[in-house]
């Protein structure tokens, strides 16, 4: 499965601009986008970005060359590139200071986040007879945009769940991820306007 940059960034809780910069500056020759389109990401690319973010949060800085090699080991399914090697869920870096990482936790966390997104997306429907075709949560008349707006305002999930008991936890997790995405590119959809003669 491939994801737009904004979807991948929302799932791993990063700024999409930073992901695009990393792709163009560091991974440029390794990621070949289709002409005229932004590159899409798969699970391995998201794993790479999540790993880089986790290492940075722990104070570990990785050089540009090491990042490219790390991406090749994770993204291209190569077992050994430069100083990096991978065997199953173990990632190792040789050198003056050897480094061994267990990818099990990061991989499981990323799978859970993607599962929340897709299971939540399955809880959304668009029907012309409900709210003029706006996306709503199944079995309700609650627009997804309304709940997303609450998350963007900083309302905690517990309060939203109390106010909207018809929305399950999967729907709320989906709305939380959508809130991190920002608005879709392009012109916003105009509200329905009713005219009487």
Give residue 192's pLDDT band: very low, low, confident or very high (50, 70, 90). Answer: low
Does the pLDDT value for residue 35 go beyond 60? no
> How many other C-beta atoms can be found within 10 angstroms of the C-beta atom of residue 44?
14
Mention every residue, 6+ apart, whose C-beta is less than 8 A from residue 168.
123
Q: Which of 86, 54, 46 is nearest to 69 (CA)?
A: 86
Percent of the chain beyond pLDDT 70? 88
Query: What is the distance between the alpha carbons of residues 183 and 181, in angstroms, rounded to a whole number?
Result: 7
- For position 41, what pLDDT does the model report? 80
| Residues comprising the chain, all counted | 197
| CB-based contact 173:116 (threshold 8 Å) | yes
> How many other C-beta atoms can be found within 10 angstroms of the C-beta atom of residue 109?
14
Burial class of residue 29 in the structure, from the number of CB atoms within 10 Å of its CB (0-12 exposed, 13-18 middle, 19+ buried): exposed
Query: What is the distance between the alpha carbons of residues 138 and 156, in angstroms, rounded to a whole number?
Result: 22
Considering the entire predicted model, what is its pTM? 0.79
Fold of 124-181: Arc Repressor Mutant, subunit A (1.10.10)
Model confidence pLDDT, tens digit, residues 63-84: 888 888 888 888 766 788 888 8
DSSP structure string for 105-127: HHHHHHHHHHHHHHHHHTTEE--
The domains of the chain are located at 5-108, 124-181
- For position 76, what pLDDT does the model report? 67
**SS3 labels along 137-171:** ECCCCCEHHHHHHHHHCCCCHHHHHHHCCCCCHHH
- 152-172: average pLDDT: 92
Does the pLDDT value for residue 14 go beyond 80? yes
Report residue 155 as tokens.
């309302």
Report residue 112 as tokens.
């859970």
Percent of the chain beyond pLDDT 90? 22
- For position 104, what pLDDT does the model report? 92
Count CA within 13 A, CB hemisphere, residue 132. Answer: 6
Q: Which of 154, 136, 155 is nearest to 144 (CA)?
A: 136
């Amino acid at each position: 499965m491939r994801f737009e940059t904004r979807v991948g960034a929302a799932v791993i809780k990063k700024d999409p601009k930073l992901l695009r910069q990393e792709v163009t500056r560091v991974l440029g020759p390794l990621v070949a986008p289709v002409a005229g389109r932004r590159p899409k990401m798969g699970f391995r690319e998201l794993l790479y970005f999540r790993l880089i973010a986790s290492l940075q949060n722990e104070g570990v800085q990785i050089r540009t060359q090491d990042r490219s090699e790390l991406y090749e080991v994770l993204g291209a399914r190569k077992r050994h590139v430069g100083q990096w090697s991978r065997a199953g869920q173990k990632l190792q870096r040789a050198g003056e200071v050897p480094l061994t990482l267990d990818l099990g936790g990061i991989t499981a966390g990323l799978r859970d986040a993607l599962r929340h997104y897709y299971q939540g997306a399955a809880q959304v429907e668009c029907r012309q007879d409900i709210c003029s075709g706006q996306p709503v949560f199944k079995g309700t008349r609650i627009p997804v945009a309304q709940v997303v707006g609450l998350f963007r305002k900083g309302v905690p999930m517990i309060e939203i769940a109390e106010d909207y008991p018809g929305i399950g936890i999967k729907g709320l997790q989906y709305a939380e991820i959508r809130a991190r995405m920002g608005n879709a590119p392009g012109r916003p959809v105009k509200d329905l306007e009713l005219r009487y003669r």
